[in-house]
Structure 1
């Protein structure tokens, strides 16, 4: 399936700017030193994508949830903002050129946006484990994309 999440018409403020980049760098560094970690009360990984316009590597710490067959589920919530986070668009542009750092390992992954019943099942699992994501969904009228990251062979 495709990456097709649209921008909403209402939503919360998306964190951005120099301060957010500094916080992302700090969190990623901390997670690398501790061979993984948590962020805001749930498991976190370091996601590395290639900028769709710049071609430059971009890293972002994101929360993850266990998916089927050892995959990782992440949500492009952006705090319930009107628009998807930049890393979502980078994944959409090149879903096979992605890596994650989790548990002290660097793993090449392929990204896939979930749709339909598969998304609903994953969404239920995520909001049960982290009700905060349900609150993000209430802030915006866009459907928060759920992405499955699967290790490349």
Structure 2
């Protein structure tokens, strides 16, 4: 009986370790070992993120991918063809181009670049994504870099 209880506990533990995110290739399908996004009340808008002081606390921010950037916000690219794959810019509106209303997200590793970088995936322009990390100045604007530990798509249902 003790062995059966231990085996069930181990099975429950192992099955709860997987995380999910919407698969970018097949809407509505999920991939294992990615990130689970929290409920909306735990995700800050770009405006809230820009105007808040979180200290060193990690938080979620969500916005539409509106551009790509590298080195400085002055190098922002707002339309195709995109050449910068080290950062994306997110905003509360998909048509935003005001640098005072965007958050810069560093695409530090290959997984982030392969998921979000506009030169690799121009179809990501105007998609809504969420990122979890610490607020820091990046590219001359509020942003996240280095310690982004969770992320995923936060697309809204399209109205026909």
Q: Output the TM-score relative to the length of structure 1.
A: 0.30
The structure in which a higher percent of residues are strand is: 2
